[in-house]
Amino acid sequence: MIPTGFPAREDMAQLTARMLLEIGAVNFNAETPYIFASGLPAPVYVDCRKLISFPRVRGTVMDFLACTVMRDAGFEAFDVVAGGETAGIPFGAWMAERLALPMTYVRKKPKGYGRNARIEGVMTEGNRVLLVEDLATDGGSKLSFVDAIRETGASCAHTAVVFYYGIFPGTLETLEGHGVRLHHLCTWWDVLAEARAQGSFDAATLEEVESFLRQPRAWQEARRKD
């Protein structure tokens, strides 16, 4: 069903942060940091994939994301929605349903047999494609998906995510330099504000999280284990 209501951005950010906290998708731990894929530590971790198990929450979040994309990119701006393997596939499917568009997905690598394809589903030259994923950190992983889409002759100038870290400098510039605009619902700053409002974590943990968010690279370097 295509959403017809358009809440204020601030309300969507706050409510999305609240829902992520409610379902336990947000994790703060200052004493035993989490390890990112880069090998660097952080006192924060978000698992947007938990949304798939909470129908009321995921429905609301995807309505918000559809509203955001339609308001910012246009109501008739796309021909196809593509989810990025693997976390982006369900989000791509839900977005396609809300925008009443065909759904495809993009593999991280060619599958190595058969057609050796990276695009699954129907995507043709001239299609305007919206790339959908669960989250964005520094934007790097999006570029490979965008390039795979463009290799079909389709265009991809927009990507939409539920959660954007919003703490690493140069992310938006990297995407924009590749001709891609990022649409998102909330960031770590929204989550931190809501966690404080709810008292979801103790004060010391929240202070350490804020320290990380303000200077993530310095925080990581100080705690790197060589």
Instruction: Report d(CA 38, CA 202) in Å as an integer.
Output: 28
CATH of the domain at 56: 3.40.50.2020
What is the pTM (predicted TM-score) of this model?
A: 0.94
Q: Which two tokens stand for residue 158?
A: 């927009």
Overall average pLDDT of the 4-11 stretch: 92
- How many structural domains is the chain composed of? 1
**Domain-embedded: residue 4:** no
Instruction: Report d(CA 163, CA 48) in Å as an integer.
Output: 8
pLDDT band at 110 (very low <50, low <70, confident <90, very high): confident
Residue-wise pLDDT tens digits, 39-71? 789 999 999 999 999 999 999 999 999 999 999
**Domain-embedded: residue 158:** yes
**Domain-embedded: residue 87:** yes
Share of the chain above pLDDT 70, in %: 97
Residue 114: pLDDT over 70: no
Asked if residue 187 has a cis previous peptide bond (ω within 30° of 0), the answer is no
Domain membership of residue 123 as a residue range: 9-222
- Torsion over CA: 161, 133, 173, 218 (sign): positive
How crowded is the C-beta side of 86, counted as CA atoms within 13 Å? 2
Residues 98/66, Cβ–Cβ less than 8 Å: yes
**Domain-embedded: residue 1:** no
Which residue type does 28 have? F
Using DSSP bridges, classify how beta strands 103-106 and 80-84 pair: parallel, antiparallel or unpaired. parallel
Q: For 89, list phi and psi in degrees, rounded to 5.
A: -65, -50
**Domain-embedded: residue 2:** no
Count of beta carbons in the 10 Å neighbourhood of residue 8: 8
Least confident of 8-22, 45-59, 65-79, 210-224: 210-224
Residues 81/91, Cβ–Cβ less than 8 Å: no
**Domain-embedded: residue 3:** no
Instruction: Report d(CA 8, CA 68) in Å as an integer.
Output: 10
Residue 42: strand pairing partners: 34
Identify the pLDDT of residue 138. 86
**Domain-embedded: residue 141:** yes
SS3 176: helix
**Domain-embedded: residue 66:** yes
Instruction: Report d(CA 185, CA 190) in Å as an integer.
Output: 9
